[in-house]
Amino acid sequence: MDLKNMMKQVQDIQGRINSMQAQLAEKTVETSSGGGMVTVTANGKQEIIAINISPEILDSNDISMLQDLVTAAVNMALKSSKEMMQEELSKITGGIKIPGLNL
């Protein structure tokens, strides 16, 4: 394979990755903790876009539990978002792990 052809393939992959990133910004994952008392929504860019807290948890006045539930739900949302991103990246690279390619 010559260098010119290889560079064209790299540019093609980069273009597909850029397109994937734009699409991931529109996709969301939703996770919850505490039996649905706290729900977190994240997009494919690993940004938290919504946190919903059930009023029942606020009635308990247990701030520590609320903090734990929010932390757990956020961590699950970010993990799910990262898995979604890796799955989409794998489609582009054919499952080949490319060193240094972390989105």
Strands, DSSP E only, in 8-66? 28-33, 38-43, 48-53
* Cross-strand partners of 40: 31, 51
Looking at residue 20, which CATH number applies to its domain?
3.30.1310.10
pLDDT at 25: 86
With respect to residue 14, please indicate whether it lies within any of the assigned structural domains. yes
pTM: 0.75
The answer on pLDDT for 1 being more than 70 is no
With respect to residue 79, please indicate whether it lies within any of the assigned structural domains. yes
User: Other CB atoms closer than 10 Å to residue 21's CB: what's the count?
Assistant: 15
With respect to residue 102, please indicate whether it lies within any of the assigned structural domains. no
User: Counting every residue, how long is the chain?
Assistant: 103
Enumerate long-range contacts of 46-52, CB under 8 Å, 24 or more apart.
Answer: 46/78, 46/81, 46/82, 46/85, 48/74, 48/77, 48/78
- 58 lies in which domain range? 3-93
With respect to residue 99, please indicate whether it lies within any of the assigned structural domains. no
Which residues touch 40 (CB under 8 Å, ≥6 apart)? Answer: 30, 31, 32, 48, 50, 51, 52, 70, 73, 74, 76, 77
pLDDT in tens, 41-53: 999 888 999 999 9
Domains in the chain, number: 1
Q: What is the mean pLDDT of residues 28-49?
A: 94
Q: What is the mean pLDDT of residues 29-44?
A: 95
pLDDT in tens, 44-88: 888 999 999 999 888 878 889 999 999 999 999 999 999 998 888
Q: Which amino acid would we find at residue 21?
A: Q
